[in-house]
Amino acid sequence: VQLEESGGGLVQAGGSLRLSCTASGGIASINAMAWYRQAPGKQRELVARIFSDGSTSYADSVKGRFTTSINNADKTGYLQMSSLRPEDTGMYYCNMEITRWLRLPDTYWGQGTQVTVSS
């Protein structure tokens, strides 16, 4: 299984970006997806999570500004980020729990995509 991320970039404060994470490789189902970010010198933190029943959860710092979703037909997850702030700057990673055909579920990581928000 491979997860390919895209959508990062440089944006001014108040702007928006949409990150994508596409899974490939014998996938039967995506059970859950999470987005993490890591700023320089800081620990990786959980930003958003979505489960197969559609339920979501968000870090307090992004509630009301970020929205996560999954398109299971395309095996792609999204993180829509609005009203971006300089403190949202960091490397963003997607994480998926995936069930492969005839296999038990396992967790996979994307390669990361950089988000930089200028003030």
pLDDT for the residue 50: 97
Say if CB 79 and CB 48 are below 8 A apart: yes
pLDDT for the residue 26: 86
Say if CB 32 and CB 20 are below 8 A apart: no
| Residue range 60-109, pLDDT digits in tens | 999 999 999 999 899 999 999 999 999 999 999 999 999 998 889 999 99
Left if phi > 0, otherwise alpha if psi is -120 to 50, otherwise beta: which for 52?
alpha
Closest CA to 82 of 1, 6, 21, 11: 11
pLDDT for the residue 79: 98
pLDDT for the residue 46: 98
Closest CA to 112 of 56, 53, 16, 39: 39
User: Would you call 91 helix, strand, or coil by DSSP?
Assistant: strand
Q: How far apart are CA 109 and CA 92, in angstroms?
A: 11
| Residue range 10-63, pLDDT digits in tens | 999 999 999 999 999 989 899 999 999 999 899 999 999 999 999 999 999 999
pLDDT for the residue 99: 93
- In our burial notation (b when 16+ CB lie closer than 10 A, e otherwise), range 72-104 reads eeebbbbbebeebeeebbbbbbbbbbbeeeeee
Q: How far apart are CA 96 and CA 75, in angstroms?
A: 10
